Structure formats: structure tokens, C-alpha cells
Amino acid sequence: MPVPTPETRPYWDGCATGELRIQRCVDCGKPYFYPRPICPSCGSGNVEWFTASGDATLYSYVINHRPAPGFEDEAPYAIAVVQLAEGPRMMASLVGVPATPEALVLDMPLRVTFEHRGDMALPVFTPAEEKR
Amino acid sequence: MSNVGVIIAGAAETDEIGRLPNHSALGLHVEAARNAVADAGLAMKDIDGIATVSTPGPVQVAHALGIYPDWLDGTGIGGTSFLLHVRHAVAAIRAGYARTILITHGESGRSRVGAPPRRADPSSPLGQFEAPYGTLGPTTTFTIPALRYMKEYGLTHEQLASVPVAQRQWAAKNPRAMFRDIITIDDVLASRIVAYPFHLLECCLVTDGGGALVVTSADRAAGFPKPPVHVLGTGEASETPMISQMTDFTESQMFRRAGQRAFAEAGITTADVDHLMIYDAFAHVPIYGLEALGFVKKGEAGPFIADGNTEPGGSLPLNTNGGGLSYTHTGMYGMFAILEGVRQIRGEAAAQLDSADISVVLGNGGMFGSCGVLVLGKQPR
């Protein structure tokens, strides 16, 4: 289980309420992930939290056949990196979709959902309905 | 800072590599250190500087060896650390901080005797933002960029499989390599999937072993039993502590930056390179390395390897010890890549090339996290 630090607490608090909160720079406007107190693009300390749309696309992944401790019942499972609509990328699990190369097509649209683990909630992603 | 030349005067591995349940990690450091100092024709008391990774660390290794050096480097940034130690040793010798520097590696990667725990701190960024998704070491993280590269550049599963096939041909010539039987692309694709798209034979070994180097100034080159290996150029760079934050999954910008710096310092281009070592924890890493160092254009490295260019008899001998995929991989493999470069320049490799005047060694640390590049030469610049 993740152990939040002061810098990351708003992220985990957001997850617990079903919101994917990330940060952006007030000065240069660029959103970023993972949580940290300065903007990685321009170095400004003038940063703020906001709630991301929850939309993303599948950037890359592996399908893991050797489960980590605690994941024995889930193998094989996907470990993915998703690209948020706002730009930053993050690691995530994929749910509601078979862990097969046929089902997991790069750039497919995804939508955030939250998996509860004890007192915490973990953002994971699931295939989105095509928009428009 | 003076521009005095620097050489590798001593270089050795532990007596055995592979499965060594009766050796602790520290014991492997000590054995490798003794072998390298003896290879240089020196005594341990001649060593006045030491470098090794943060665990067990230079203080522990020096004390175990019974020496009290005046220069220490504990840079511990994964498997490329030893390449950075060489780079830092060059600077230290030029600055006059030390004269004879010992760099050691020892790791009980397979048997885990006296080895540190592997788990990420759950409050670290890695522990918070990657570990909760069921990662289990490099197999599940270092590998993630590959599918993106395959989509963008059309790299096929067969081309990816050709990387271990090519390297096994080198390993077949090397009695110390753990795996020596020739394999085919079909063999690779028939081996079990570990983390799709990676099959077992596209993942490195996990072994026990060690190696060490003695680095000193080139003006002493005539005083050692072995031919000097000149350190002509070096580079280092960092990129990311987490694979999810790699800038672009289709290229390693840190490989490119460290390589450019090393090549510029050495005054060489890719055309000058006779021999190449690229850290190969997984089959895609040599592909990223070949492109980042400029040997081929982006997207061309897979076909380049599949066409046989890096095999015995090819135009660019790559990972001639068999690499981490076939020779050995203790966890922090970089020392073994340097040692093969040294052996080729000296003319004492198991699969010795006819001509090896310039060898380039590229090391990776973490998951595309840190990089060191060395340009080694038979002659001074």
C-alpha cells in the first residue's frame, strides 16, 4: 500500500473521493504528474491542484505473467502507462477489459475509475465509450 | 584541471560467476578486488581511492580490504554505476585527489547471500505511484516502453527476438557464459511469456558474481603487466526514477546525451568504433542504445540486428561476451560490460575480435534511469 507524504496527500485524498487530482503550474500553465512542489517545466514554485478530466489513452503496457505478491489471483494482468487528456502520463492498472494483446490496443480511449484498497483508493483505467 | 591521460591498469572478475550460494555480496567484492589488484601487479596498499555502489558502500569495502583510501565515491544509481565510477576516477586522478583507484562490484543477485532487500520504500514516488499496480522488478517496468516503440517504428516480435539470437552466437564462444547453446528466433518466441511482449529468452539472467578495475594515470602505463586500456572519453546522464515518467518511450535521451559527451571528448565518430557493449537487461535496450549512440537512425536498429550486423563476422560486434542475456547479469551488470571492453582492447577476450582499437561501453541504471558511456582505446588520444 502506498504511504502518502505531505506533497502527495491531496492526490490520495482526491482518490478517496473519486477525483483524480493532479497539479499544474500557475505561471507557465503546464499540468504535471507525479505530485511535487515545483513545476518541472519552468521551475516555478507557484503551483496548484486541479481535478483532471479522467480521460486518457493507452500509451504502452506489458501483460505480466509473473504476479507480484498479492496479485496471484489476477495474473496475467496488464501494467500500463496511460496518457491523461491533460498531457501527463501515469502508471495504472486496466480493468473491465481482458489482459490480452488483442483487447489492449495502443491509443485506445480510457476513463479513470477507482479501486478501493483498505482505507485508500487507487486510480485505475477502463475502456471509455467512444465520444462524439 | 590537467588533461593527463587515464588508463585501466587492472581488470578482473571473480574466479567464478553464475550460481555462487557460498559467497556473500561483500565476499564477491573482496575477491574481485584482489583479482583486479593482482592483475595490475599491485598490492592492496597501493590503492589510495575507492569507488563502489552505495550498498555495501566504499567504506565497508575498503575496510574489508584493509585499506584506508583518501578518495571515495559511493555513487549507487543502478547497473551503470561502475561506468560513472570510472568517469569520476578520471576526474579525481586529473585533480590529484588520488593516484590509484579501485572500483569494485559484487552482487549475490541470484542466491541473495548478504544482499540488500529489494522492495521499494512505499512512501517514495516509486512506492506510491508504480508499486501499487503489481510491478515486480525490472521485468514488469523496464519492458513497458517496448510496445510503444513497436507501434511507432514497426519493430516486429521476430526482430526483437533476434537480439538474444545474435548474442547467443557470441556466448557460444565463451566458456564462462551461463547459456551457450545456439538458439533460433523460433526458440525465443516459443519460450514462455514473462511480461508480454517479452519472452523468457528476451530477459536477462539473474546471477551471482563480481568484477573490479584499477584506474590510474597513463604516465605509469609501462609499469603494469597488462597492456594499458586508455579511457578516451566518458559521459553520464540521468533521465527518470520511474518508467512511467520517461520522456519519450521510443528513445532514450540520456543514452544520447551521455554518448554525445563521451564521443566528443574522445574525438571519435561511430565509424571509429570497432567494438560495442550496450547494457542488455532486456532485448529492447540494445535497440534503444544503437539508435541513441547514432549507429543507425531511429527505427533501424531492429532490422540492423536481425540482418546479422552485430553477430560474429558482422560489421559492428555487439555484446561479445554474450551480454546480460547469455553471459551473466548479477543485477548491476555494468561492470561486466566494461570488463569485456577491456578484454577486447587487451586482446584477451574469449571471442576475441581481430581488430579492437576502440571499444564503446554504454551502461544503464534503473529503468532507463541513469546512463554512463565510456570510450576505451588501445592507444592514447
Interface test with A, best of B118, B133, B200 (most A CBs within 10 A): B133
Interchain proximity A106–B148, CB inside 8 Å: yes
B19-69 tens-digit pLDDT = 999 999 999 999 999 999 999 999 999 999 999 998 899 999 999 999 999
Enumerate residues 146 to 185 of chain B having a beta carbon within 8 A of any beta carbon in chain A. 146-148, 151
Give percent of chain B with pLDDT exceeding 70: 99
Distance from first CA to last CA of chain A, Å, rounded? 38
* pLDDT surpasses 90 at A129: no
**B109 and B163 housed in the same domain:** no
Chain-wide mean pLDDT for chain B? 97
Window B:249-288, CB contacts with A under 8 Å: 249
**Contacts of B73 by beta carbon, 8 Å cutoff, 6+ apart:** B49, B50, B51, B52, B58, B85, B88, B89, B92
- Domain with B179, as residue range(s), is 137-205+233-377
Is B136 within 8 Å of A66 when comparing Cβ atoms? Answer: yes
Whether A131 has a pLDDT exceeding 70, the answer reads no
Domain co-membership, B316 together with B291: yes
Cα B309-B314-B318 angle, rounded to 5 deg: 70
At A118 the pLDDT is 86
Structure confidence by residue, pLDDT tens digits, B241-261: 999 999 999 999 999 999 999
Name the residue of chain A whose CA is nearest to B250's CA. Answer: A60
On whether residue B1 sits in a domain, the answer given is no
Q: Which residues of B touch A62 (CB under 8 A)?
A: 140, 143-144, 146-147, 195-198
* Mean pLDDT, residues A63-79 taken together: 96
The residue type found at B353 is L
Structural domains in chain B (count): 2
**Of the candidates B292, B270, B273, which has an alpha carbon nearest to the alpha carbon of residue B344?**
B273
- Judge if B146 and B219 occupy the same domain: no
Task: Let me know whether B198 and B307 are in one domain.
Answer: yes
| Domain limit, last residue, from B195, B216, B232 | B232
Residue among A5, A59, A117 minimizing CB distance to B249: A59
The reply to whether B60 and B99 lie within a common domain is: yes
Of B133, B145, B194, which is closest to A66 when you measure between CB atoms? Answer: B194
d(CA B231, CA B13): 19
Arithmetic mean of pLDDT, B265-274: 98
CB contact under 8 A, A91 and B129: yes
Q: Is A36 helix (H, G, I), strand (E, B) or coil?
A: coil
Cβ neighbour number for residue B308 with a 10 Å cutoff: 15
Partner-chain contact A66 B123, CB within 8 Å:
no
Query: Are B197 and A101 an interchain contact pair (Cβ–Cβ within 8 Å)?
Result: yes
Q: Indicate whether B313 and B259 sit together in one domain.
A: yes
Q: What's the pLDDT score for residue A130?
A: 62
**Domain CATH number, residue B265:** 3.40.47.10
pLDDT over threshold 90, residue B3: no
Residue B173 resides in a domain: yes
B5-11 mean pLDDT: 98
Q: Based on the fold, state whether residues B58 and B182 are members of the same structural domain.
A: no
This model of the complex carries an ipTM of 0.96
Q: What is the pLDDT of residue A106?
A: 98
Q: Do A1 and B122 touch (CB under 8 A)?
A: yes
| Confidence category of residue A132, pLDDT binned at 50, 70, 90 | very low
Instruction: Please state whether beta strands B49-51 and B71-73 pair in parallel, antiparallel, or not at all (unpaired).
Output: parallel
What's the per-residue H, E or C state across A107-120?
Answer: CCEEEEEEEEECCE
**Cβ of B132 and A117 within 8 Å?**
yes
Is B128 within 8 Å of A66 when comparing Cβ atoms? no
- The confidence score (pLDDT) of residue B118 equals 74
Are residue B156 and residue B84 in the same domain, yes or no? Answer: no
Mean pLDDT of B73-95: 98
Nearest residue of A to residue B241 by CA position?
A34
Could you tell me if residue B101 is inside a domain?
Answer: yes
Q: What is the Cα–Cα distance from B130 to B124, expressed in whole angstroms?
A: 10
User: Does the distance separating the beta carbons of B128 and A4 come in below 8 Å?
Assistant: yes
User: pLDDT tens digit string along B364-379?
Assistant: 999 999 999 999 999 9
- Domain positions in chain A: 9-127
Nearest-CB residue to A64 (from B195, B242, B244): B195
Closest CB from A4, A67, A90 relative to B134? A67
Say whether A79 and B194 touch across the interface (CB within 8 A).
no
Query: Are B176 and B299 part of one and the same domain?
Result: yes
pLDDT digits (tens, 9 = 90+) for B111-141: 999 988 777 899 999 999 999 999 999 999 9
Residues B77 and B218 both lie in one domain = yes
pLDDT tens figures, B155-179: 999 999 999 999 999 999 999 999 9
Phi, psi of A123 (to 5 degrees): -70, 130
- Residues of chain B contacting A31 with CB distance shorter than 8 Å: none
Instruction: Note the pLDDT of residue A35.
Output: 98
Shared domain for B199 and B258, answered yes or no, is: yes
Q: Quick check: is B361 in a domain?
A: yes
Q: Is residue B212 part of a domain?
A: yes
Q: Which of A50-59, B1-10, B301-310 comes out lowest in average pLDDT?
A: B1-10
Long-range contacts of B171-176 (CB under 8 A, 24+ apart): B171/B321, B171/B322, B171/B323, B171/B326, B171/B327, B172/B322, B173/B312, B173/B350, B173/B351, B174/B321, B174/B322, B174/B327, B174/B350, B174/B351, B175/B350, B176/B13, B176/B17, B176/B321, B176/B327, B176/B328, B176/B350
- Given a cut of 60, whether residue A84 has pLDDT beyond it is yes
